[in-house]
Amino acid sequence: MDQDVTQGHYARLAATYDENWVYSPAFVEWMTGCIQRLLRIGPGDVVADVGCGTGLYARGLAEYASAVVCAEPSAAMLARVPRDGRLIPVAASAEDLASGRVPLPHEGYDAILLKEVLHHVSDRAAVIAGLAGLLRPGGRMLVAMLPTRISYPLFPAALELFASQQPDPAGIAELMRAAGMQAELTCDSFPLTFPAERYLQMVRNRYMSLLSHFDDDELAAGVALIRRAHPGEEISFPDTIAFILGTAA
């Protein structure tokens, strides 16, 4: 995605980002549980959450780790990471860390999380290889991302744009293997239900960066299509997430 569009999107979204998911604390709890089950963070572990956003998941992971470095290029998102001794904010992109342009505060990492970030990265091979170099032996890297096809209730143009832009999770696993890690791809789903108006307001707020490609009129027309397809009081859909776990030798 164009870097200016991405930066403008997250600068606008920062203030309301947590509301989208805090509406469903059960979702955040489920996702944190999935991440912890795969990353197996233990006391004494040093973790980096790359593209941490507001630290929505770093907060939960900090309960298991000795420190979670929260790296994020959007100043507006990073400013929302809670002030907590175990959450260490670092203003940096994945590319900054992978190339060593911005050094991280610890020598080696036991776990690195990239949740819904890699679609913003152009040279994913270089970023995955560079970040793999920050892992200690046996360290884990977890990429959590949407699959290429999603069943979100969006309008057709948005779904088509999504499918054309989203990287393939199987390709991410290949990049991890090329970077010298063992890699395993799994998927898991969580059933989401929103009051219809609440969900439509999230779409109007462009809660997904993808929606920043549509102007106000296109978005209003899209919301009308969604409403027609979902006339009830609630909108339900499964949120399926692909998890790619890499383990360093």
Interface with ligand SAM by CB under 6 A: which residues? Answer: 6, 10, 50-53, 56-57, 72-74, 77, 93-95, 115-117, 120-121
CA angle at residue 77 from 237 to 99, to 5 degrees? 105
Tell me the closest approach of the beta carbon of residue 131 to ligand SAM, in angstroms: 10
Report DSSP letters for the chain, one per residue: --HHHHHHHHHHHTTTHHHHHHT-HHHHHHHHHHHHHHH---TT-EEEEET-TTTTTHHHHTTTSSEEEEEES-HHHHTTS--BTTEEEEE--HHHHHHTSS--SSS-EEEEEEES-GGG-S-HHHHHHHHHTTEEEEEEEEEEE--SS---S--HHHHHHHHHHPPPHHHHHHHHHHTTEEEEEEEEEEEEEEEHHHHHHHHHTT-SGGGGGS-HHHHHHHHHHHHHH--SSEEEEEEEEEEEEEEE-
Tell me the closest approach of the beta carbon of residue 102 to ligand SAM, in angstroms: 11
Of 121 and 202, nearer to ligand SAM (C-beta) is 121
Of 1 and 225, nearer to ligand SAM (C-beta) is 1
Tell me the closest approach of the beta carbon of residue 231 to ligand SAM, in angstroms: 29
Of 230 and 237, nearer to ligand SAM (C-beta) is 237
Tell me the closest approach of the beta carbon of residue 224 to ligand SAM, in angstroms: 25
Of 56 and 67, nearer to ligand SAM (C-beta) is 56
Tell me the closest approach of the beta carbon of residue 157 to ligand SAM, in angstroms: 20
Of 57 and 162, nearer to ligand SAM (C-beta) is 57
Tell me the closest approach of the beta carbon of residue 139 to ligand SAM, in angstroms: 19
Of 219 and 241, nearer to ligand SAM (C-beta) is 241
Tell me the closest approach of the beta carbon of residue 59 to ligand SAM, in angstroms: 10
Give the relative orientation of helices 196-204 and 216-229 as an angle to the nearest 10 degrees: 160
Of 94 and 200, nearer to ligand SAM (C-beta) is 94
